[in-house]
Amino acid sequence: MLPSACNAKAYLNVSCSAKERRWVEQLDVRQMELASAIAQSCDIPEIVARVLVGRDQTMESAKDFLDPSLKSLMPDPSVMTDMDAASARIARSIEAGDKIAIFGDYDVDGATSSALMAKFLRHCGCEANIYIPDRIFEGYGPNPDAIDHLIDEGHKLIITVDCGATSFAALERAKERGTDLVVLDHHQVGESLPPCTALVNPNRHDDVSGLGHLAAVGVTFMTLVAINRTLRQSGFYQSRCAPPDLLSWLDLVALGTVCDVVPLQGLNRAFVVKGLMVIRANKNCGLSALQAVSRISGPVTPYHLGFLLGPRINAGGRIGDAALGATLLTCDDAERAEHLAAELERLNKERQALEQIMLEEAIAQADHILMSDPDAAGLVTSSPDWHAGIVGLLASRLKERFRRPAFAIAINPDGTATGSGRSILGTDLGAAVRSAVEDGLLVKGGGHAMAAGLTIQKDDIDPFKNYLDQKLRTQVKEARALDDLKIDGALTASGATEDLIHLLEKAGPFGAGNPEPVFVFPSHKIAFADVVGQGGHVRCTIANQSGGKLKAICFRAADEPIGAMLLDNRGQTLHVAGSLSLDYWQGRPSVQLRIIDAAKVTV
């Protein structure tokens, strides 16, 4: 067990930081001894070993963790329920040369899953068409009208990716019309499953594969492995085409995995490690064009995937053409890819402007909720003026700012409303939403522990607030009580070097489930601090007593307590906590600290 607020001394006596968090040391004495042993056994620096132990690695697991391989971590796809039926049915359509429709979600996981499946089917000679529903007019997942449209266009098989597991009416329509439908999904589902030829979802109740942590793009990749095997066994590749190089498409798997914020552990981590290698080789024409408009310099990292590339792909689904992202990712023409990437860049800037306006109102509503009830379990905000494509971003911002589950809901003129929620570790939002559906409070809804979506009647929003509070109050109280900032070690500005970052990369890639190491810079002077950029970022320079300096940035902090602490203490000393990265300017790397928290120095 890692130290908790109950039994650990506050690190540097910080019991209430700028973000109202207690700082504690990541490792106890026993774990420090384990880190020393791992360092010797694996021939790695002790600071890297400490990071490994802080992420639950042992003597037995450390070596595999440092060198994750698909061969050792990826099981036989057939361990997933219905996988054999799904691969057999899709292979049959490939061999028959059927026209196949791919029905995807409008987020990055959906776009990468759709692109991955389309690339495979087209390589095998099939006409494969991607259909992404309009977020505003169609909502999430398959609907009966869309199914009718796809069947009327002559598609003999429909494959849903990142959706479909709860789309009863749409799948019933496909059954009525005699068209086979295969579902590839990863969202939580109830006991009842919709009618379809096969439903591959590691989170269905009768699946014992242990792969419930996969994003939809991971499930899709596993399905391609299974189909590939089926086609090899049937002799398809001997007469029709060469087998595809599945590993060359791991860039899409890495992108979808990081952007869907699933745990970067086990197989997911291997997907991202290998996928980043493919991305850095610039094998995908669309991704290369997107990197150019995102002004990425230096090697692509999970940060770039989650915060630069992902939002631009999402921009199409939020406020433009929902299929733009998937179209870009399957594009093989450099000139067209540049055009598509430029359009996504334009939409992303428009999205940022809308988000800023909406966020101000959402924060005001959240402040009002917490003034009335400081212990509120969740923040449910809503407005008829909000764009339904941006509510997920609002929920994420509220969750980060107030450290509790949050929903943002866009109210439509007809009295219906569409919302998205984001949760904190230790609170299962998807289960709460499914329960609300079963109890009749929501028109529809679903998701997983950390994120959920819903459709609700306007008049039911207030009852839903009360319902959510009752469902989650205990979970949220316990989760917030254990929400210490765990510190991996102390450094000075002089000690934060490029070599250190390269050493730490052995424990990466970092993201959900494998968080970036957090280091404290004790009693460092804020030599410079100012607000930069439209997002209200605070850029700083911190310095130690011997004169060593380190540039730092605290994102979206200007209007928050941490931003005020940094700006108000220019020339003074603070304890500063954050994560290290390399910032590339004109191709030259320099060390940068991303500030997570700060605290006053106490005697």
Give me the CATH number covering residue 265.
3.90.1640.30
Cis status of the peptide bond prior to 561, with omega within 30 of 0: no
- The pLDDT value given to residue 8: 67
- The pLDDT value given to residue 584: 86
For 284-299, what is each residue's pLDDT tens digit?
999 999 999 999 988 9
507 and 469 share a domain?
Answer: no
For 525, the enclosing helix (H) or strand (E) is strand 519-532
192 and 337 share a domain?
Answer: yes
Residue 2's pLDDT band (boundaries 50, 70, 90)?
very low
Query: What is the bridge-based pairing of β-strands 157-161 and 99-104?
Result: parallel
- The pLDDT value given to residue 599: 97
Its domain, for residue 379, covers 373-481
Return the biggest CA–CA distance within the chain.
Answer: 78
Residue 91 within any structural domain of the chain: yes
Using an 8 Å Cβ cutoff, are 60 and 81 in contact? no
Q: What angle do CA 588, 592, 593 make, to 5 degrees?
A: 170
139 and 213 share a domain?
Answer: yes
Domain boundary among 449, 466, 481: 481
Kindly state the percentage of the chain with pLDDT values over 70: 99
Domain boundary among 445, 466, 481: 481
188 and 294 share a domain?
Answer: yes
505 and 475 share a domain?
Answer: no
Residue 180, beta-bridge partner list: 157
| Torsion angle of C-alpha atoms 111, 199, 167, 97, degrees rounded to 10 | 60
Residue 352 within any structural domain of the chain: no
Residue 458 within any structural domain of the chain: yes
**Whole-angstrom Cα distance, residue 32 to residue 34?**
5
β-sheet with 127-131: strand ranges across: 127-131, 99-104, 157-161, 180-184, 198-200
Query: What type of residue is 561?
Result: P
Kindly state the percentage of the chain with pLDDT values over 90: 85
For 41-71, what is each residue's pLDDT tens digit?
999 989 899 999 999 999 999 988 998 999 9
Residue 61 within any structural domain of the chain: no
- The pLDDT value given to residue 4: 42
Q: How far apart are the first and last CA of the chain?
A: 30
Using an 8 Å Cβ cutoff, are 524 and 544 in contact? yes
- The pLDDT value given to residue 513: 86
CATH code where residue 518 lies: 2.40.50.460
H helix intervals, 130-265: 144-152, 168-176, 216-234, 236-239, 250-259
Judged against a pLDDT cut of 80, whether residue 360 lies above it is answered with yes
174 and 319 share a domain?
Answer: yes
492 and 465 share a domain?
Answer: no
CATH code where residue 416 lies: 3.10.310.30
Residue 148 within any structural domain of the chain: yes
Domain boundary among 442, 466, 481: 481
Using an 8 Å Cβ cutoff, are 32 and 488 in contact? no
213 and 308 share a domain?
Answer: yes
- The pLDDT value given to residue 507: 92
Judged against a pLDDT cut of 80, whether residue 499 lies above it is answered with yes
**Average pLDDT over all residues of the chain:** 93
296 and 403 share a domain?
Answer: no
186 and 227 share a domain?
Answer: yes
For 532-550, what is each residue's pLDDT tens digit?
987 799 999 999 999 899 9
Residue 69 within any structural domain of the chain: no
Residue 450 within any structural domain of the chain: yes
Judged against a pLDDT cut of 50, whether residue 337 lies above it is answered with yes
Q: What is the mean pLDDT of residues 502-529?
A: 93
Residue 90 within any structural domain of the chain: yes
378 and 321 share a domain?
Answer: no
| More confident: 147 or 318 | 147
- Owner of token pair 């479909």: 164
Q: What is the DSSP string of 477-517?
A: HHHHHT--EEE-EE--GGG--HHHHHHHGGG---BTTBPPP
Q: What angle do CA 43, 46, 48 make, to 5 degrees?
A: 85
Q: Is the pTM of this model over 0.85?
A: yes
Counted domains in the chain: 3
**Whole-angstrom Cα distance, residue 452 to residue 429?**
6
Q: What is the 3-state secondary structure (H, E, C) of 407-454?
A: EEEEECCCCEEEEEEECCCCCCHHHHHHHHHHCCCCCEEEEECCEEEE
553 and 431 share a domain?
Answer: no
- The pLDDT value given to residue 1: 34
Here the tokens at position 66 are 């440092």
For 211-238, what is each residue's pLDDT tens digit?
999 999 999 999 999 999 999 999 999 9
- Name the residue among 401, 327, 325, 311 with its Cα closest to residue 362: 401
Q: What is the mean pLDDT of residues 546-575?
A: 95
